[in-house]
Amino acid sequence: MNHPLIERLATDERVQLFSTLQDAGQSPYYRTMHSSTGATSNVQGVDRIMLGSNNYLGLARHPEVIEATTEAVRRFGSASTGSRLLNGTMSLHEELEAEIADWFGTEDALCFSTGYQTNLGTLGALVGERDAVVIDEFAHASLRDGLRMARTSVHPFRHNDLGALEDALITARRGSPEQILVVVDSLYSMEGSLAPLSG
């Protein structure tokens, strides 16, 4: 007898769609990489132009970055074996954060392991239940998750529409929040569009 969760997954439309795409060789997910990520990468045995990587500056294969990474692994091992909060903060973290703070002329800096964690941690620290957030409807899912965790009032507006942004700000003000934060992506990675921000 199957577990009810297994039975539910077997009939879930999303699972069936994924299986169909995977069987047809058309699934965009879990593609096996056989090389490092650069302008081109070997994906499932075929060299392809890479358009989906976060390696925007091409530093993942830079010789100095590889050498520094190799030296860090020799010095600290292959994992921190703990969270930054408890026992995973290394001197390397503190050196990097001090360098970033110096670069930007700030009192301090805090690095996160991923962009997703950055958005969760930052939004959770900036806003709370007594605040309101006005957010572009195409904002990254990690921003939306951060706002859910912050339990703040959220007011979406049409993508890159400044008139809709103004309307959302008016609506948000009606709740008399302590503060209002406007959240947009500078570059919308899924659409390739830029937010209308001035320098």
Identify the CATH number of the domain in which residue 151 sits. Answer: 3.40.50.2300
* pLDDT, position 1: 60
CA atoms of 110 and 97, how far apart (whole Å): 6
pLDDT tens-digit map of 65-123: 999 999 999 999 998 888 888 888 999 999 999 999 999 999 999 999 888 999 999 99
By residue range, what is the domain housing residue 152? 115-194
Judge whether residue 4 has pLDDT over 90: no
How many C-beta atoms surround the C-beta of residue 95 within 10 A?
10
Same domain, 95 and 147: no
User: Do the strands 187-188 and 153-157 form a parallel or antiparallel pair, or are they unpaired?
Assistant: unpaired
Domain final residue, candidates 94, 111, 128: 111
* DSSP of the chain: ---HHHHHHHH-HHHHHHHHHHHTT---SSPPB-S--SSEEEETTEEEE--S-S-TTSGGG-HHHHHHHHHHHHHH-S---S-IIIII--HHHHHHHHHHHHHHT-S-----SSHHHHHHHHHHHH--TT-EEEEETT--HHHHHHHHHHT-EEEEE-TT-HHHHHHHHHHHHHT--S-EEEE--SEETTTTEE-----
Residue 100 lies inside a defined structural domain of this protein:
yes
Regarding whether 119 and 94 lie in a shared domain, the answer is no
Q: What's the number of domains the chain is made of?
A: 2
* Same structural domain, 106 and 124: no
Q: Is residue 179 part of a domain?
A: yes
Q: Which residues contact 186 (CB under 8 A, 6 or more apart)?
A: 194, 195, 197
Q: Is residue 142 a part of any domain in this protein?
A: yes
Q: Let me know whether 104 and 131 are in one domain.
A: no
Structure confidence by residue, pLDDT tens digits, 131-182: 999 999 999 999 999 999 999 999 999 999 999 999 999 999 999 999 999 9
Note whether 121 and 143 are same-domain residues: yes
Check whether residue 125 and residue 189 sit in a common domain. Answer: yes
In a domain, 13, yes or no: no
Tell me the whole-structure pTM to 2 decimals.
Answer: 0.72
pLDDT band of residue 199 (cuts 50, 70, 90) is: low
172 assigned to some structural domain: yes
Residue 22: inside a domain: no
